[in-house]
Amino acid sequence: MTDDVSKPILNVLKGETLSPPPIWMMRQAGRYLAEYREVRSRAKDFIDFCFSPDLASEVTLQPIRRFGFDAAIMFADILLIPIALGRRVWFVTGEGPKLDPFDVANFQELADRREDSVLASIGETLRLTKAELPAEMTLIGFAGAPWTVATYMVEGGGSKDRFKTRVAAYDQAEAFDAMMNIIADATADYLVMQAHAGAEVLKIFDSWAEGLPEPLFDRVIIRPTKRIVDRIRAQGVDLPIIGFPRGAGTLYPKYARETGVTALALDTAVDPKWMDENLPAGLPVQGHLDPAVLRTGGAVLKAEVDRLVDAWSDRPHIFNLGHGITPDVPVAHVEQLIRSVRDR
């Protein structure tokens, strides 16, 4: 970034309140775009797709070219860290990610088998993307948070309530916490690598943070996230970090105070008035349009955009969704969303 180029996303993350707010969307590179589907067809499977820098960079840039979002988020997946820790990950069409279920008692295997070079291609994706990204747009790197990653590892894939993982956290507490430390350290180092490869913002996705009692939330959400942030800072990286503990509810403010993140990404269930009153003053927020509203479009979309932009008009705010864009969203609705935010 040169001193004479203004980047709206970075300005907000420094504490500026902009009108209109800058905008990008989670999963903005995805199946709702025909050009994405064409590039995806060139890879033998989803993991190969993520580890192919030319393809991953191309789909990262596609929504920037089409829509002119204020940020590009690198195309990858939150389940690359388990691969670097020696676990097998594959994707089944119509079912999602699959892993060989992991017994947390064997946590030391993760450290012994850790191989960071597995993730080197992600750095190349960032370098290729940065070279093509317009100067005023921000490049975002990311990783899954340890709790969310651990749930996939322990459950062997997605799970409605992460019950097996929660039981392991209680029943094998010492081993579970040791496993989380290993995942957290690998994640922090992965994010540092992304920073050195050109990322200007780092995001930590805790997609399955909901439904946890506060003591467990402290152990498996706040503590590992703080460990990641502290390790990133100890390695000299001072980039903004966005934390997304989806479903944290009334624990969002505690997460904001205790983890050290720069900004909070908010989910669809958040009450803006309550959150604004309880978050640290001036803390930037991102979010939190319901993806179903984007799918609906029309007057419903316009009204919700107006409501959310107005609700956060006195706080640094990046407009985004409360979760990822769905594959069935018409491109015209994305175009309407951008107009609704920028032409108020």
- Tens digit of pLDDT for each residue in 212-239? 999 999 999 999 999 999 999 999 999 9
- Which residues are designated catalytic? 27, 31, 40, 77, 152
- 185: in domain: yes
Measure the CA–CA gap between 72 and 332, rounded to whole angstroms.
Answer: 20
Q: Is the pTM of this model over 0.75?
A: yes
pLDDT at 344: 85
Does position 3 have pLDDT exceeding 60, yes or no? no
Does position 2 have pLDDT exceeding 50, yes or no? no
DSSP state of 106: G
Q: How far is CA 162 from CA 151, 170, 220, in A?
A: 6, 13, 13
Please check whether residue 135 is in contact with residue 78, taking contact to mean a CB–CB distance below 8 angstroms: no
Q: Using one digit for the tens of pLDDT, what is the confidence trace for 237-274?
A: 999 999 999 999 999 999 999 999 999 999 999 999 99
- 316: in domain: no
pLDDT at 43: 96
Please check whether residue 202 is in contact with residue 195, taking contact to mean a CB–CB distance below 8 angstroms: yes
- 59: in domain: yes
Domain count, the chain: 1
- 15: in domain: yes
Q: Is the dihedral of CA 180, 283, 247, 302 positive or negative?
A: negative
Q: What is the mean pLDDT of the chain?
A: 97
Measure the CA–CA gap between 80 and 275, rounded to whole angstroms.
Answer: 32
Please, which pLDDT band fits residue 1 given cuts at 50, 70 and 90? Answer: very low
- 161: in domain: yes
- 87: in domain: yes
The enclosing domain of 68 has a CATH number of 3.20.20.210
- 229: in domain: yes
Please, which pLDDT band fits residue 4 given cuts at 50, 70 and 90? Answer: low
- 342: in domain: no
Q: Using one digit for the tens of pLDDT, what is the confidence trace for 62-76?
A: 999 999 999 999 999
Residue 103: give the domain boundaries.
8-286
